[in-house]
Amino acid sequence: MRARSRTLVVGVIGAVCALLLGASAAATGGAAAPAEDSQPSLVETYDYPGAAAIEAERGIKLKKGDGHILFVECADNANQLKVESTAFPQGRNFFCFKIVGVEGQIVMELPEAFLVYGNDYNVVATWRAEDGSVHNTPIRKNGLTAIGEGVTGTPGSLIEFNATR
């Protein structure tokens, strides 16, 4: 009798599954409905949040980053990277970045950057000279380092910071 009960249960389960699959196919016209594109992508683009507003207000174009180098207001005695540019009027020509965590990366476009004040991280500034050549310059910890015009005598743009502890 046990074998017969098992056979009956398996048969009932099979019939219910077939019924459900048939009803599902009938509801969708026999084909699976395509997924809607209303869901946002789960792929991280690393675009800098609020970049358009920052560019409109400060003139720096923040493109991408890993979230560990943040554009911040400059503060005295803070452990920040501080960049000086000749493209902006006095009093608005300093741009500061705070590094959080063990390492960080940010891609930007800061025209006519010529001097970086380092902090206590190991930082490399990548900048593009007026002739289009790209340079990687290690930034002195807690000191001054020339980039762009400070090196070549012609304007250059800061395009990236990479930092590690």
Interval 6-44: pLDDT, tens: 444 444 454 444 444 454 444 444 444 445 556 555 556
* Same domain membership, residue 131 and residue 60: yes
Tokens of 138: 């290690």
Q: What pLDDT was estimated at residue 46?
A: 76
Higher pLDDT, 2 or 111: 111
* Same domain membership, residue 128 and residue 64: yes
Q: What pLDDT was estimated at residue 77?
A: 85
- 37 domain residue, yes or no: no
Q: What pLDDT was estimated at residue 43?
A: 58
Tell me what the mean pLDDT of segment 66-95 comes to: 95
* Same domain membership, residue 152 and residue 95: yes
Domains held by the chain: number: 2
CA 161 to chain centre: 12
* Same domain membership, residue 95 and residue 58: yes
Tell me what the mean pLDDT of segment 65-82 comes to: 94
pLDDT tens string 113-156: 999 999 999 999 999 999 999 999 999 999 999 999 999 999 99
Q: What is the DSSP letter of 47?
A: B
- 42 domain residue, yes or no: no
Tokens of 33: 């409905």
Tell me what the mean pLDDT of segment 45-59 comes to: 90
Residue 111 has pLDDT above 70, yes or no: yes
- 119 domain residue, yes or no: yes
Q: 116 lies in which domain range?
A: 51-164
140 Cβ neighbours under 8 A, 6+ residues apart: 118
What is the Cα–Cα distance from 26 to 41, expressed in whole angstroms?
30
* Same domain membership, residue 103 and residue 63: yes
Higher pLDDT, 92 or 8: 92
- 45 domain residue, yes or no: no
What is the Cα–Cα distance from 41 to 47, expressed in whole angstroms?
13
- What's 61's domain CATH number? 2.60.20.30
